[in-house]
Amino acid sequence: MVPPIRNALLRQATTCLRQTQPTPLPHLSRKATLQRLLSTLAVLEQREGKLNHSSLAAVTAAQRMGGTIHGLLAGSNVKPVADEAAKVDGLEKILYIDNSDYDKGLPENWAPMLVENVKKGGYTHVFAGHSAFGKNLLPRVAALMDVQQISDITHIDSEDTFIRPIYAGNAVLTVQSSDSPKIVTVRGTAFPSGAAEGGSASVEAGVDPKAPCPTEWVSENLAKSDRPELGTAARVVSGGRGLKSKEEFDRLIPALADALGAAVGASRAAVDSGFADNSLQVGQTGKNVAPQLYLCAGISGAIQHLAGMKDSKVIACINKDADAPIFQVADVGLVGDLFETVPELTEKLGSLT
């Protein structure tokens, strides 16, 4: 039997405890709670007022992960581009910084500015395309924030676990990070570029620390072409060392590409031999492409080349060696001399149009 005085004290304590219990929150699943906490800043890359494909793919990747997504644009007169970016599906806010120091995408200028915006917004993630710009910028941002950088992801398992190919795509690495923020570059061909319409994000000025710029832009030398851009083209025609010379490459490959409305690509051996410009190289140390059709001639199919094109929807090849490894990944293969078959194919395609 509990003595009356102790009984009264117990009752008092229970009432006190009840009063200090927190009001129960409405039930939220772990996933829903996480989604509320996630916030990504997507770095938006643009050239001449057009957002590039890999930035839009980074937005899609962030959408798949969930949470709030803001975009960041910087450069001179960038406000109209920010207004356009506001229409991109999934973005809730666009931060823009109107300053010509950011025009050429120099990572030494961009990195401190991006860090300030990440800190101010308290973002959990920073995503950018795995383009030359993204690859240059995000490691610097990660170093300044003392976190690791996660490169070239092709899949998102969860908010802290990402998949990326390694060894020229021959192995797949799962990267789990406890860092905050997580600084991630996204492989453009692994995610669709997302709808550039349908959204209605707010647009506001971001933070510009106006840090002294340690690097000065001198000049650029751009290869101009009326053909589709290699990284985003729906069709690509590539030539390799089997073309034998620059003259033959220029005679055969662009003509076949034009007959298909395709971009021109090349193997590294073709680039190293001077047949094609370096900007056309497809592969591990070149561009990653994933077109609807990848047609190549005189390319053996080394793993470093496959790393850049094996995600193409249909792969077709022309090679005189029936044992060339390219036939192992090709959906359609033609064993034959390219100096005969390529002109014939070009002519037949031309007569169809």
Report the residue number, 110 or 275, with the smaller CB distance to ligand FAD.
275
Q: Using omega within 30 degrees of 0 as the cis cutoff, is the peptide bond preceding 181 cis?
A: yes
Residue 324: CB atoms within 10 A of its CB come to 20
Give the nearest distance from C-beta 236 to ligand FAD in angstroms. Answer: 13
Minimum gap (Å) between residue 294 Cβ and ligand FAD: 12
Which CB atom, from 216 or from 323, has the smaller least distance to ligand FAD?
Answer: 323
Q: What stretches of the chain show up as alpha helix (H) in DSSP?
A: 4-20, 30-37, 53-65, 79-85, 107-121, 132-145, 246-260, 268-272, 303-309, 326-329, 338-352
Length in residues, the chain: 353
Pick from 182, 98, 101, 95: which is nearest to 142 by CA? 182
Residue nearest to ligand FAD (CB): 283
User: DSSP letter at 86?
Assistant: T
Task: Find the shortest distance in angstroms from Cβ 267 to ligand FAD.
Answer: 3
Residue 133 makes CB contacts below 8 A (sequence gap 6+) with 45, 105, 107
When the beta carbons of 191 and 249 are compared against ligand FAD, the nearer one is: 249
* Closer by beta carbon to ligand FAD, 33 or else 285: 285
Q: How far is the CB of 305 from ligand FAD (least distance, A)?
A: 3
**DSSP conformational letter for 223:** P
Query: Which residues are annotated as part of the binding site for FAD?
Result: 241, 267-268, 281-285, 298-305, 319
Nearest to 302 by CA among 256, 255, 346, 238: 238
Q: How far is the CB of 238 from ligand FAD (least distance, A)?
A: 8
Q: Which residues bind ligand FAD (CB under 6 A)?
A: 240-242, 267-270, 281-286, 298-300, 302, 304-305, 308, 318-321, 324, 337-339
Shortest distance, position 54 Cβ to ligand FAD, whole Å: 17
Give the residue carrying structure tokens 């039997």.
Answer: 1
Q: Min. distance of Cβ 292 from ligand FAD in angstroms? A: 20
Q: Is 49 left (phi over 0), alpha (psi -120 to 50) or beta?
A: left
Binding-site residues sit at 241, 267-268, 281-285, 298-305, 319
d(CA 324, CA 52): 35
How far apart CA 166 and CA 173 sit, in angstroms, is 7
